[in-house]
Chain A
């Protein structure tokens, strides 16, 4: 039962992340919403797997996957946002402040 609740919470967060991926206006905000929500949602699904299987080979594999997923997704987001800035995508119309512009040039 706890397993099903964790899975549902994870899928709900994944849903929020995907709505953010569709609705938000520019690439920086999309990356922001999607990375956070989808990473925590998938971590929640993996904890659900751990609860379902208990402490045996499958459960331990799910537990090992959580830190790998966390570091991989955050570093990938960092690389993508820096690459997008270097590619020449400017911040959207609604943005108010850009300190990075002076630092790069």
Chain B
């Protein structure tokens, strides 16, 4: 028996798949980085839904840590971008 929460979880995972499409096919490097940034936020949503399903609170800790790590990762990538030019 698949519950309503399960369907939401699968939809959220499918949305991360759409982001993955942009990461793989993105014509330029900044497009891929936008995909990585959005992917990081979607994973937090997946963590929240799993926390409701299993009634465990430590999964939300994983979500908070994931927000901060993906934020630092995006800042590093953006810093890397602004030092380069498109034809290098």
Contact = CB atoms under 8 A, between A and B. Distances in A.
Direct contact of A and B (CB under 8 A): yes
Interface of A: 3-4, 7-8, 10-11, 14-15, 17-18, 21-22, 27, 30-31, 34-35, 38-39, 41-42, 45-46, 48-49, 52-53, 56-58, 61-62, 64-65, 68-69, 72-73, 75-77, 79-80, 82-84, 86-89
Nearest to A27: B30
Interface in B26-79: 28-31, 33-35, 37-38, 41-42, 44-45, 48-49, 51-52, 56-57, 60-61, 63-64, 67-68, 70-71, 74-75, 77-79
The 3 closest A-B pairs by CB, nearest first: A83-B81, A58-B57, A88-B86
Determine the main DSSP class of B at the interface with A: helix
B37 A80 contact: yes
A58 B18 contact: no
Interface residues of B, number: 50
Does more than half of chain A's interface fall in helix, strand or loop, or is it mixed?
helix
Contacts of B5: 7
Interface of B: 4-5, 8, 11-12, 15, 18-19, 21-22, 28-31, 33-35, 37-38, 41-42, 44-45, 48-49, 51-52, 56-57, 60-61, 63-64, 67-68, 70-71, 74-75, 77-87
